[in-house]
Amino acid sequence: MRHTCAVVAGAVLAFATTAVFSQPSQAPGGVLLEIKRFVVEGDANPLSQQETDAILARHLGTHKSLDTIEAAARALEDAMREQGYSFHRVIVPAQRPAAGELRLRVLRFNIAQLTVSGNQNFSNENILRALPELQAGQSPDVRELSRQLALANEHPAKRLSIQIKESQKRDHLDAEVKVRDVPAMQTFVGLSGHTRDHDNTINRNTGYTRLTVGHQQSNLFDRDHAATVAYTTSPDHLDDVKQIGAFYWLPLYGYHTTLNAYWTYSDVDTGTVGVGGQNFDVSGRGEFWGLRGTYALPKLGLVSQNVSLALDDRYFKSDVGFQGIALPSSVVGSRPLSLRYAVQHAQAEGSIGAQVEYVHNLRGARADDDLAYSTARVGADPNWNAWRYGIDASYSFSGGWNLSGRFRGQYADEALIPGEQFGVGGTSSVRGLRDRETTGDRGHSFTAELQTPELYAGIVPFVFFDYGSVKHVVPVVGVDSSNSASSVGVGLKWNWQRKLEVSAALANVVDGVAGGTPQGHVKLHFSAFYRF
């Protein structure tokens, strides 16, 4: 589960001190006061002297009303708020200006009392460790606090929100961190699958159902480190399907950074390994590991952004090529370095996010020489590059309706080995097709899903449309240079006490794959996931 929580500070500072200005005698010509210089009193001004002077410079000169004088105070206060200092106020204190000098005073509202509530599985110290900007006796930088809150809410077992309100102590605030959490140590079981494929020759030895068991500890060393292991097999082909996954997540809260590491092994060519709340789509039989570091950049208003750098090592063992055609057994590897930029705009009614990633193969992996590449794909070069990108959006309407969309794409101007190609088909792209039934050097997929209001006891119906398209930059003998497919369907989702998640989707293929799943094929996809 992944939710966006916000800092709540509505009507927090309505009690700010009201300024009193002693008016001088009205000057001839209606001029109230001529201001030649502003003096900002106290040590609470978070802006530099240069910034302060630049803001107030436009308010120098003659003033004919108190409103224009107080506009200078508002301008300085607005500048502070834009830089994250929302708990500072600027007032015009009572005074009798002399020699064209006007005094302004900055008030800072510090945290008087800091409390944590709702936490049942994590200590107060653990919760506050994720929010170092929130300290008693200090005034928090709201922008910095928002970044820390977003990072804290990436944790798989807890969600935080912050409420800041007026304190009983004059000119101070109280802050409460509200927590929703689940036990840090959890075991989970998942069952997923689908009804029979149109062509049973591909999966007849591995079956259509997958059983996953795993365990997660998400507070190692009381520092929120999360470690997960999982094992996936086929209930009716236990000896033929083995997928193992391990995942480690490490937050560095004070540095706005998370570090991820994973390792997976699969002896089947397609499928999904569920690890640590994430799904790793298997694009080939073999062994894979990876490292990723993600840095949360400063927010731009309601827009959050991050940049990440990843290194993956992939060792493919495959005897299946394009469109499921049997090939001689071969091995090939890749070691791509990826640089990704992601951005998200979130509001109460919905969100939209996008990401773009540049990928370059570094070489040095097992079986990444010219011979291995030419054997896996004619024309493939180990020094390959690709762009990968995506967009996610959702919007909630009144009455419980929700519309969501997902777009994924890849662009390459050269031949890629099968494991690095863009794949279409399966629950994560076009339902009704086999997993990665058609692949290409370039491609994109799109999913639109409309959820209706809750039907009964948490059951939510939905309808969907899936589309995907791929293209080979270098033609492959016996395979179409481009292919596309689409499907429509209906489904149900059910979530019970955040422990049991069940979903089912009935897909009808509208546009089939040449030489593969035809138009009109109907397939039921299902999954159940339980954590305890």
Tens-digit pLDDT profile for residues 70-121: 898 999 999 988 888 888 889 888 888 888 889 898 888 899 999 999 999 9
**DSSP letters along 402-420, please?**
EEEEEEEEEE-SS---GGG
Q: How confident is the model at residue 283 (pLDDT cuts 50, 70, 90)?
A: low
Q: How confident is the model at residue 383 (pLDDT cuts 50, 70, 90)?
A: very high
Which residues 6+ apart lie within 8 Å of 233 measured at CB?
Answer: 210, 211, 241, 242, 243
Q: Is 138 helix (H, G, I), strand (E, B) or coil?
A: coil
Sheet with strand 158-166: strands edge to edge: 7-8, 158-166, 172-181, 110-117
- Beta strands 61-63 and 422-424, pairing class: unpaired
User: What pLDDT, on a 0 to 100 scale, did the predictor assign at position 272?
Assistant: 53
Q: Is 25 helix (H, G, I), strand (E, B) or coil?
A: coil
Structure confidence by residue, pLDDT tens digits, 393-407:
999 999 999 999 999
- Using alpha carbons, list the distances in angstroms from residue 220 to 2, 126, 250, 457: 21, 11, 10, 36
User: What pLDDT, on a 0 to 100 scale, did the predictor assign at position 271?
Assistant: 52
More confident residue, 360 or 36: 360
Spatial separation of the C-alpha atoms in residues 300 and 298, rounded to whole Å = 7
User: What pLDDT, on a 0 to 100 scale, did the predictor assign at position 319?
Assistant: 57
User: What pLDDT, on a 0 to 100 scale, did the predictor assign at position 65?
Assistant: 79
Tokens of 207: 């079956």
Alpha helices in 366-511 (DSSP H): 370-376
User: What pLDDT, on a 0 to 100 scale, did the predictor assign at position 323?
Assistant: 46
Q: Which of 3-7, 435-439, 445-449 has the lowest mean pLDDT?
A: 3-7
Given a cut of 60, is residue 9 above it in pLDDT?
Answer: no
Side chain identity at residue 36, one-letter code: K
**DSSP letters along 70-126, please?**
HHHHHHHHHHHHHTT-TTEEEE--S---BTTEEEEEEEE-EEEEEEEES-SSS-HHH
Specify the residue for token string 């969600």. Answer: 159
Specify the residue for token string 């994560």. Answer: 428
Given a cut of 90, is residue 61 above it in pLDDT?
Answer: no
Tokens of 238: 């236990």
User: What pLDDT, on a 0 to 100 scale, did the predictor assign at position 16?
Assistant: 35
More confident residue, 412 or 27: 412
- Using alpha carbons, list the distances in angstroms from residue 233 to 189, 227, 281, 501: 12, 21, 15, 20
User: What pLDDT, on a 0 to 100 scale, did the predictor assign at position 99?
Assistant: 84
Spatial separation of the C-alpha atoms in residues 488 and 467, rounded to whole Å = 9
Tokens of 43: 């040590």
User: What pLDDT, on a 0 to 100 scale, did the predictor assign at position 67?
Assistant: 82
- Kindly state the average pLDDT of the residues 163-170: 89
Spatial separation of the C-alpha atoms in residues 369 and 384, rounded to whole Å = 12
Spatial separation of the C-alpha atoms in residues 324 and 474, rounded to whole Å = 18
Residues facing residue 287 across a β-bridge: 265, 315
More confident residue, 68 or 508: 508
Given a cut of 80, is residue 276 above it in pLDDT?
Answer: no
Q: Using an 8 Å Cβ cutoff, are 355 and 331 in contact?
A: no
Given a cut of 90, is residue 6 above it in pLDDT?
Answer: no
User: What pLDDT, on a 0 to 100 scale, did the predictor assign at position 198?
Assistant: 84
Spatial separation of the C-alpha atoms in residues 180 and 65, rounded to whole Å = 51
Specify the residue for token string 């090529």. Answer: 321
Spatial separation of the C-alpha atoms in residues 72 and 188, rounded to whole Å = 59
Structure confidence by residue, pLDDT tens digits, 220-246:
999 999 999 999 999 988 888 899 999
Given a cut of 90, is residue 215 above it in pLDDT?
Answer: yes
Q: Using an 8 Å Cβ cutoff, are 260 and 252 in contact?
A: no
Residues facing residue 508 across a β-bridge: 488, 522
- Kindly state the average pLDDT of the residues 493-519: 93
More confident residue, 283 or 302: 302
User: What pLDDT, on a 0 to 100 scale, did the predictor assign at position 5?
Assistant: 39
- The verdict on pTM exceeding 0.75 is yes
Nearest Cα residue to 339 out of 316, 355, 321, 326: 355
Domains of the chain: 7-11+110-181 (3.10.20.310), 28-107 (3.10.20.310), 185-531 (2.40.160.50)
Q: How confident is the model at residue 282 (pLDDT cuts 50, 70, 90)?
A: low
Q: Is 44 helix (H, G, I), strand (E, B) or coil?
A: coil
Side chain identity at residue 103, one-letter code: R
- Kindly state the average pLDDT of the residues 131-149: 91
- Kindly state the average pLDDT of the residues 151-166: 94
Nearest Cα residue to 438 out of 483, 502, 481, 408: 483
